[in-house]
């Protein structure tokens, strides 16, 4: 039988799964390029939360040496990796938004379907000329 208290005690994992699936759905289902970037950021935040959640050691303290051999420390490496990932995420988001601006200037829209139609029309016209 399912112990619902045990399931509900891991609410942070349910939040992570919900954020991850929401971000993935937005990336796949939306045609607007800005919405895709927002979905990518939501997905990214869920991964950050997952790494931070699994890095916590029960009863662990900050990794500051106290000289007590019985002290249990939490692992600082995932937190350092997440700080690096946040910087990379901001840079990726900025690059994505800059590309969206260039796409808007070139095609006049940021809707994926409309861009593909315009691209197909341009290819057809180029083939007719050749």
Q: Mind listing the domains of the chain with CATH numbers? A: 4-56+74-129 (1.10.287.3510)
Ramachandran bin of 67, using left for φ above 0, alpha for ψ from -120 to 50, beta for the remaining angles:
left
Q: To the nearest 10°, report the CA torsion of 45, 18, 22, 101.
A: -10
The helix/strand count (H/E) of the chain reads as: 5, 0
**Placement of tokens 């006049």 in the chain:** 108
Least confident span in 5-14, 100-109, 120-129: 5-14
DSSP H or E run through 64: none
Give residue 10's pLDDT: 83
Residue 111's SS3 state is strand
Is the pLDDT confidence value at 7 over 80?
A: no
Q: How many CB atoms lie within 10 A of CB 33?
A: 19
Give residue 32's pLDDT: 95
Pairwise CA distance, residues 11 & 81, whole Å: 23
**pTM given for the model:** 0.82
């Amino acid at each position: 039988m399912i112990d619902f208290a045990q399931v509900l005690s891991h609410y942070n994992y349910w939040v992570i799964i919900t954020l991850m699936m929401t971000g993935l759905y937005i990336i796949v289902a939306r045609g607007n390029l800005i919405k895709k970037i927002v979905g990518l950021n939501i997905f990214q935040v869920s991964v950050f939360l997952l790494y931070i959640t699994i890095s916590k050691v029960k009863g662990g303290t900050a990794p500051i040496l106290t000289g007590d051999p019985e002290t249990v420390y939490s692992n600082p490496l995932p937190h350092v990796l997440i700080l690096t990932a946040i910087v990379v995420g901001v840079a990726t988001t900025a690059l994505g938004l800059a590309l969206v601006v260039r796409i808007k200037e070139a095609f006049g829209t940021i809707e994926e379907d409309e861009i593909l139609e315009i691209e197909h029309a341009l290819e057809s016209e180029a083939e007719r000329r050749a």
